[in-house]
Structure 1
Amino acid sequence: MIETPVPGHGLHERFLRGLALSPRRAAIRVDDETLTYEAMHELALRRAGALLARAPQRQRGPHRVAVLADKSLTAYVGMLAALYSGATIVPLNPRFPAERTRRMLTAAEVSTVIADPIGRAALAETELDLPVLAEAAAAPPLDAPVAVRPSDIAYVLFTSGSTGRPKGVPMTHGANDHYFTLLDRRYDFGPADVFCQNVGLNFDCAMFELFCAWGRGAPVHAIPPAAHRDLPAFLAERRMTVWFSTPSGTSFIRRMGGLTPGAMPTLRWSFFAGEALLCEDAAAWQAAAPNSRIENLYGPTELTVTITGHRWSPETSPGRAVNGVVPIGTVHPGHDHLLLDGDTESAVEGELCVTGPQMTPGYLDAADNQGRFLERHGRRWYRTGDRVRRLDDGELVYLGRLDTQVQIQGFRVELAEVDHVVRRCAGVQNAATVTRPAPGGGLELVLYYTGDRVHPVTLRRELAAHLPEPMVPKVFRHVAEFPLNANHKVDRGRLAREAAAMSDGPS
């Protein structure tokens, strides 16, 4: 049976809801440029018309439009225009290496590119002959956005594959409809809110920032990098009420003095996702934003942005934490989950597997599905690769990636546990433990840490009082701050490569 379009279920229809609520209010602000909902809607209809006029192949195959741009009006209007045209959007980072961008454009079978000047330069470096939509392209505007089916693909995002080849993750309009319907029930966002747009557009959390705001008629403000140098002043000037970032993205804010008590009074909601949130960081943010509710969100791209959430409580959350990490909460309604310990289901601890309406239909390359999906109980489950523990009330606590459990001298070591003990040492702010090949074979631990510089002998003595000998790192390295990847997460891969290449010396 052919599925027919269902009004109200397309991702772009969240913008239409905002248009009805706030037609003459700002929808997007980039630096000093602002577009109202009405103006952005009209621009998107014109560019959607131009996209369809130059895409006659739409009936013969997927119509995918890459948005290769920085945080610019070109990017935001382009994303909406592509959705209005019924196309699938493929947001890409124009600052990625040219070979990586070329692979993603090719894998997604992109038919047209929307690019700002930086994106045009990036596209030229790929040496691909793809048409770029001119902002002044002449074509009749659409009267209304193209209707879509829930099973149609709204966007494709690329994650890092274990082989080094990016994996394309298609997400449907129906999955996003389920997701944002849940968020509408959970949060009291409204037209008076002011949302940040902080993460890269190729990061799935950008969908949260944009479409939560647009679904409620609120404005979205792109956060320039310079704003982090004095974030409290920027938030106050913009009267920002909703913040979103990775936990690691707050380290620079802390160093710049932005987390002093009461520094961010306008915030009503603060969201953290993408990596483990430490209790001490949540507490510091709460002190700086006393009027804000804080949520720790968790979810792989394959499960539509986030699939669990825990609301931080200074009174109860620390007592529920494991290794100093804030719980990730319960799985969203409408989904089932199970924990796998090897191939056996566990009631307490194991790899988190989830099934339900937010799950991707599968990777662009079907070969990537191998090992990532599980058939059990007559259903298909996504294997997250994350180890969690289930508390008595059903809440989940994140323990780490499956591949962060390593064998050292025959001893099973949880890297997150080492990090937790290191963070309790005097002077240490944060820690990231990685492995490297040991001279005699096997692996050994290398510790990177921030905060005050502590003599290795002191660190080793403190750790030896709490950890078995195989869990005590062999090498200690002090850094001013951890390297971050394009999504503002700690780049542990880079740390591991540096550790493997280093010659041991003073920390």
Structure 2
Amino acid sequence: MTVPTLLERFAGQVAARPESVALRHAGTSLTYGELDGWSGRLAAQLVAKGVGPDSLVALAARRGPAAIAGVLAVLKTGAAYLGLDPATPVRRQRRMVEETGPDCLLAEPGLDQFPTLDAARVTLAPASSGPLHQAPGRVPGEDGDGDALFHIVYTSGTTGNPKGVRIGTRSVRGRLEWMWRDHPFPPDAVLAVQKSPALVASPWEMLGGLLMGVPSVVLTDDEVLDPELFAAVVAKERITHLFLTPHLLDGLLSQSAKFADEHQPVLVTTGADTLPVAMARRFHAVWPRATLLNLYGMTETASNVAAYDTSSLPADAERVPVGTPVAGALLSVRDRHGRRLPPGVTGEVWVAGPPVALGYVGGDDEDAFRTDDRGVRHYRTGDRGRLLPDGALELTGRTDHQVKIRGYRVELEEIESVLRKAPDVTDAGAYVDTDGDEPRLVACVVYDDQPGGDTLRAYLRDRLPDYMLPARIQKVARLPLGANGKLDRAALRTLVTETGQERAVRFAPADADEAAVAALWEELLGTAPGTADENFFDAGGHSLLAVRLANRLSATAGRRIPLRRILAAPTVTGVATLLRTARQGEEA
């Protein structure tokens, strides 16, 4: 029996339930028939511009129904897509576009930021009239050898630039079919969509429920960032299936008392970062009937290649395993010569099988993708791990300097490379400070002439995504080197600790509200504000820390202070004004 393709599954749902809700977002809904018409008209416009099999479409879209309509439209033409997240610095997006050379740009209004791109344009907006493209049920490559490209995803690279990973259609389809087969949706299931279409894990959220007749709720930016709003939408929409990073899971658990009796999730999967044992146990204490899977994977393996049901976690566990292979993956642990190691021995994790990506854009695959003496192609993950007696894989660290920040992969070498290109910076080093509640990036720079801290941060913000921005930038006279002439990161950490952070001016609060804000500022960022108009984000803050700031301020004021208000006025003075207004019982 032939397994239906992705397009055939969607067409089947459209035929069976044209008036049923496919997507919900911010109080609006879209039926299967409406989504099919929208994506079909977009596909017709793309085809009219010459898009077809072997084409690449740059998809510039925010998280929302338009992004999903755009992905479906691209699939209907037989093309592949490059997801472009508007939260990514424009310079970085332009590099991706320049490197991949898309044939067409499908962009939401206001997101075409590529004036030099010589490619056709189609506007990603609702289309209620116009010709419909009759997509073939089976597109080239989906039933073949897996060489057809599905999408390109960019991730942090050790060379100083992000690197694009070419992911095949068969890999994506295998990931979807594994979940459908091993964890089928129960009646009344509802799936949450909270990932950017530029991320490797996004196809599961965008298509996983949609192609099985399960309504999908596309979260807004505020709902993703704010745990209180996140929990509220999970309860209101009765969402049963979520794919979360440990950070998002922690935020959801912090709000669980508000809806645990009313509604419980059915399946929660977590990945992209280490799942603490305590968090897994807390999850099962709060939602004893729910399943929590700890997933393992990376961009080069089309998201996930292993899964572990945390209900099996031993009482004496020190780590949560990442589990056993899924989606046809083959996992092995090897020494530095590529020889297999027996269970219990730590080595580098290698992955083979259908999930492995087609390679990097530009073909620089030699170090990461290896073909063994049996002719089997593997991806060397750089993760250190060991196989447990029950066959589950446990991770123990890294073989390189890659780290995870808020669920995102970060190569420290890329941050260092960008810093070295900044005006007046002659050298730079970076490490991760793990002493606090969450990992924090620390950058050390050697200057010829020291520019202002705000100037350097502005330079970085224009080139690096939010999660790669250092929480702290420290000037040092020179970088410590090891015997091999390379940066000694352990010594760098010691140097920064001894040097401390210097401030020419210490902020003097004007009143109790500014003092309260300054105290929280120092608690969250590790240093007090220097001036009343210092920007929280220029001082090393990021979206998750802003959420914590909003929650602490709300507790202090006894009244909710919306995150969006803080984002609109992220200075000491601005935040203190919000606190003062909330104390007085007015709307913040």
Range of TM-score over shorter length: 0.7 to 0.9
CA contact (8 A) 1:66 1:92 kept: yes
Q: Are residue 216 (structure 1) and residue 261 (structure 2) matched? A: no
- Is 1:31 the counterpart of 2:20 in the alignment? no
Tell me if structure 1 keeps the 8 A contact 2:253–2:283: no
20-29 vs 392-401, greater mean Cα deviation? 20-29
Partner of 2:346: 349
Alpha-carbon shift at residue 251 of structure 1 (Å): 4.6
CA distance in 1 between counterparts of 2:385 and 2:314 reads 16
1:289 to 287, 290, 293: 287
Letter in 2 for 1:209: E
For structure 1, which segment, 135-144 or 106-115, has the greater mean C-alpha deviation from structure 2 after superposition?
135-144
Give the secondary structure class of the aligned counterpart of 2:316: helix
Partner of 2:266: 268
Partner of 1:339: 333
1:358 aligns with 2:340: no
Which of 54, 57, 65 aligns to 1:65? It is: 57
SS in structure 2 at match of 1:387: strand
Distance 1:240 1:405 in 2: 34
Task: Work out the CA distance in 1 between the residues paired with 2:118 and 2:391.
Answer: 52
Distance 1:397 1:131, change over 3 A: same
For 1:246, the equivalent position in structure 2 comes to 245
Aligned pair 1:234/2:230, yes or no?
no
CA contact (8 A) 2:525 2:541 kept: no
Inter-partner Cα distance in structure 2 for 1:65 and 1:318: 49
Q: CA deviation at 1:196?
A: 0.5
Q: In the TM superposition, what is the alpha-carbon distance from 1:117 to its structure 2 partner?
A: 2.5
Report the CA distance between 1:317 and its aligned residue. 4.3
Find out whether 1:479 has 2:478 as its counterpart.
Answer: no
| CA positional deviation for 1:382 | 0.8
Partner of 1:411: none
Distance in 2 (CA, whole Å) between partners of 1:113 and 1:163 is 27
Could you tell me how far 1:371 is from its partner in structure 2? 0.4
Q: Show structure 2 runs of 5+ residues with no match.
A: 404-430, 445-475, 482-487, 495-521, 527-539, 547-588
Q: CA deviation at 1:252?
A: 4.4
How many Å apart are 1:191 and its aligned residue? 5.7
Which residue of structure 2 lines up, in the alignment, with residue 159 of structure 1?
155
Distance in 2 between the 1:11 and 1:355 partners?
23
Q: CA RMSD in A?
A: 3.3
Q: Which whole-Å deviations, capped at 9, do the CAs of 1:403-442 have from their partners, x for residues lacking one?
A: 2599xxxxxxxx99x96xx6xxxxx755569797997643
For residue 53 of structure 1, the aligned residue among 48, 53, 60 is 48
CA contact 2:370–2:378 (8 Å) conserved in 1: yes
Alignment of 1:430-441 (within 5 A): 430=438, 441=481
Look up the equivalent residue of 1:174 and give its one-letter code: R
- TM-score computed with the length of structure 1 as normaliser: 0.75
Distance 2:284 2:230 in 1: 15
Whole-angstrom distance in 2 between the partners of 1:317 and 1:175 = 32
Q: Secondary structure at the match of 1:142?
A: coil
Q: Contact 2:238/2:263 (CA < 8 Å) preserved in 1?
A: no
Give structure 1 stretches of 5+ with no counterpart: 1-5, 407-414, 423-427, 448-476, 489-507
CA contact 1:17–1:217 (8 Å) conserved in 2:
no
Relative to structure 1, the CA distance from residue 7 to residue 119 in structure 2 (aligned partners, 3 Å threshold; closer, same or farther) is: farther
Aligned equivalents of 1:48, 1:163: Cα separation in 2: 37
Change over 3 Å in CA distance of 1:109–1:20 after alignment to 2: same
Change (3 A) 1:91 1:440: closer
> Given that residues 320 and 327 in structure 1 are in contact (C-alpha distance below 8 angstroms), is that contact kept between their aligned partners in structure 2?
no
Question: Tell me, what secondary structure is at the counterpart of 2:239?
Answer: coil
**Number of the residue aligned with 1:183:** 179
- What is the number of residues matched between the two proteins? 425
Closer, same or farther: CA 105–139 of 1 in aligned 2, 3 Å: farther
User: Secondary structure at 2:35's aligned position in 1?
Assistant: helix
> SS at 2:304's partner residue?
coil
1:116 is the counterpart of 2:161: no
Which secondary structure does the structure 2 equivalent of 1:165 belong to?
Answer: coil
Counterpart of 1:457?
A: none
Give the 3-state SS of the residue equivalent to 1:199 in structure 2: coil
- CA, structure 1 residues 24+244, in 2 after alignment: closer, same or farther (shift >3 Å)? same
* Deviation (angstroms), 1:188: 2.0
For residues 65-464 of structure 1, what are the structure 2 equivalents within 5 Å? 65-120=57-112, 123-124=113-114, 127-134=116-123, 135=125, 136=127, 140-145=131-136, 147-148=138-139, 149-150=141-142, 151=146, 152-190=148-186, 192-227=188-223, 228-253=227-252, 257-258=255-256, 262=260, 265-313=263-311, 316-317=313-314, 319-322=316-319, 326-332=320-326, 334-343=328-337, 344-347=339-342, 348-367=345-364, 369-378=365-374, 379-404=376-401, 429-430=437-438, 441=481, 442-444=488-490, 446=493
Aligned-partner residue type, residue 352 of structure 2: T
Residue 22 of structure 1 pairs with residue 46 of structure 2: no
Letter in 1 for 2:72: L
CA deviations 1:186-232 (Å, max 9, x no partner) are 10214621111112211122111122212321011111233333333
Matches of 1:137 and 1:131, distance apart in 2: 22
Over 3 Å counting, the alpha-carbon distance change for 1:113 and 1:33 in structure 2 is farther
SS in 1 for 2:44: helix
Q: Is the 8 A contact 1:259 1:284 kept in 2?
A: no
Is the CA contact 1:155–1:171 (under 8 Å) kept in the aligned structure 2?
yes
In the alignment, the residues of structure 1 paired with residue 193 and residue 201 of structure 2 have an alpha-carbon distance, to the nearest angstrom, of 9
Note closer, same or farther for the CA distance 1:300–1:443 as it changes in structure 2 (3 Å cut): closer
Mapped to 2, the partners of 1:163 and 1:485 lie a distance apart of: 27
Structure 1 position 267, deviation (Å): 0.8
Q: 1:159 to 1:439 in 2, by over 3 A?
A: closer
> CA separation in 1, counterparts of 2:292 and 2:261?
15
Separation in 2, partners of 1:295, 1:154: 26
Q: Residues 175 and 327 of structure 2 are in contact (CA less than 8 Å); yes or no, is this contact kept in structure 1?
A: no
Classify 1:320/1:201 alpha carbon distance in 2 versus 1 (closer, same or farther; 3 Å).
Answer: same
CA distance in 1, matches of 2:402, 2:153: 28
The CA distance in 1 between the partners of 2:32 and 2:100, in whole Å, is 30
Q: For 2:171 and 2:367, locate their aligned partners in 1 and report how far apart those are by CA, in whole Å.
A: 22
Distance 1:192 1:440, change over 3 A: closer
Supply the AA of the counterpart residue of 1:88. A
* 1:14–1:183 CA distance, 2 compared to 1 (3 A): same
Partner of 2:460: none
Q: Measure the CA separation in 1 of the matches of 2:103 and 2:402.
A: 42
Once structures 1 and 2 are overlaid, which stretch shifts more, 129-138 or 147-156? 129-138
* Separation (CA, whole Å) in 2 of partners of 1:141 and 1:182: 32
C-alpha distance 259-201 of structure 1, shift in aligned 2 (>3 A)? farther
Structure 2: distance between partners of 1:11 and 1:33:
25
Cα distance, 1:297 vs. partner?
0.7
Q: 1:405 to 1:64 in 2, by over 3 A?
A: closer
The CA deviation at 1:384 is: 1.0
Distance 1:242 1:88 in 2: 27
